[in-house]
Every structure is written in structure tokens, then in C-alpha cells.
């Protein structure tokens, strides 16, 4: 059993030039259309090449204030309102500015056990499947999970 057998051939992508607001909308659309929570999206440039990944973690890391530990000590804080103002300041930031550029990928012929090993050792929840220079699918940890544990269903 290989990556090509368990990957999702349908996937949503982001452009490096997308704004953070556009990325958030795409996360929502992808989750609705795939009927499962999508926590990370591939970033593909105009040449159809994979240039990065953007996860919800990347976005939260970026929008959180640098000195969040000071926030946690201020009891009389209208956090929601202040956070709203912070979001206004990320308007000029694009996906390419905060995406993860070192992306681990697998080939269609990568064995599922090798995929499991990668996901566990590198704490990865999704792996783009790349054939040559083109992305042909993505293996989510849930795909792998239900494939390996099908017997219990």
C-alpha cells in the first residue's frame, strides 16, 4: 500500500500572494468542502510548484502578541477588542511572509509505513504527494489512521 492509494487527490491551495484574511477564508471553505477540519494548506506558486505550507499554527503564532505572557497577567483586559485591533495590523502580510518553506513531501510510491514513520518522527499531520515537480495529492494523518486501523471500524 502506497501514498497514491490513500492520498486525497482533491486539495485546496493557497497562493504566496494571498493575504492572511484570504487564507483564513480558504481554511473555512476547505473544511466545509472536505467535511473535515483542515489545519494546513499547501502554497503553490504561478508555476504550479509547491513553495510552502501554511498551517493554523503559523497564523496563530504570527498574530499573537510578542509579549503574550504580560497579557496573561493583566486581569482588567478587554482581550477581544484589543485582539481585533491587532488583526487590522496584519493586512499587509501575505502568505509567503509567514508560511513554512521547508516542506517535507512524499512520492506517490512511498510506502504507508514510511509515511507513518515520517509523520510520527517529524510531528507532521499532512504530507504533500509530489510527482516530479507537481503536487498530485495530500495524505492527511486521518487518511493514514483509518487505513491502518480499518479493522476496528
Pairing of strands 50-55, 40-44: antiparallel
Q: Give the residue, chosen from 21, 33, 65, 84, that forms a contact with another protein under the rule CB under 8 A.
A: 65
Q: Does 47 bind another protein (CB under 8 A)?
A: no
Instruction: Give 35 or 102: the residue with its C-beta nearer to another protein.
Output: 102
Instruction: Give 8 or 15: the residue with its C-beta nearer to another protein.
Output: 15
Cα distances (Å, whole numbers) of residue 66 to 45, 89, 117, 135: 30, 14, 34, 35
Contact call for residues 20 and 150 (beta carbons, < 8 A): no
Q: How far apart are CA 140 and CA 153, in angstroms?
A: 18
Q: Does 82 bind another protein (CB under 8 A)?
A: yes
Q: Does 143 bind another protein (CB under 8 A)?
A: no
Q: Does 73 bind another protein (CB under 8 A)?
A: yes
Q: How far apart are CA 6 and CA 139, in angstroms?
A: 7
Count residues contacting another protein (CB under 8 A)?
24
Q: Contact residues for another protein (CB under 8 A)?
A: 58, 61-62, 65-67, 69-71, 73-74, 77, 82, 85-86, 89, 92-94, 96-99, 101
Amino acid at each position: 500500500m502506497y501514498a497514491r492509494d490513500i492520498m486525497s487527490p482533491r486539495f485546496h491551495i493557497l497562493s504566496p500572494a494571498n493575504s492572511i484574511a484570504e487564507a483564513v477564508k480558504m481554511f473555512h471553505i476547505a473544511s466545509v468542502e472536505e467535511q473535515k477540519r483542515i489545519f494546513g494548506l499547501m502554497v503553490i506558486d504561478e508555476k504550479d510548484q509547491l513553495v510552502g505550507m501554511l498551517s493554523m499554527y503559523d497564523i496563530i503564532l504570527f498574530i499573537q502578541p510578542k509579549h503574550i505572557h504580560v497579557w496573561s497577567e493583566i486581569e482588567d483586559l478587554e482581550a477581544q477588542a484589543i485582539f481585533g485591533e491587532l488583526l487590522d495590523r496584519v493586512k499587509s502580510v501575505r502568505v509567503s511572509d509567514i508560511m513554512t518553506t521547508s516542506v517535507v513531501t512524499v512520492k506517490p510510491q512511498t510506502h504507508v509505513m514510511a509515511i507513518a514513520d515520517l509523520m510520527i518522527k517529524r510531528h507532521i499531520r499532512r504530507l504533500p504527494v509530489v510527482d516530479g515537480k507537481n503536487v498530485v495529492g495530500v495524505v492527511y494523518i486521518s487518511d493514514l489512521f483509518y487505513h491502518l486501523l480499518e479493522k476496528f471500524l
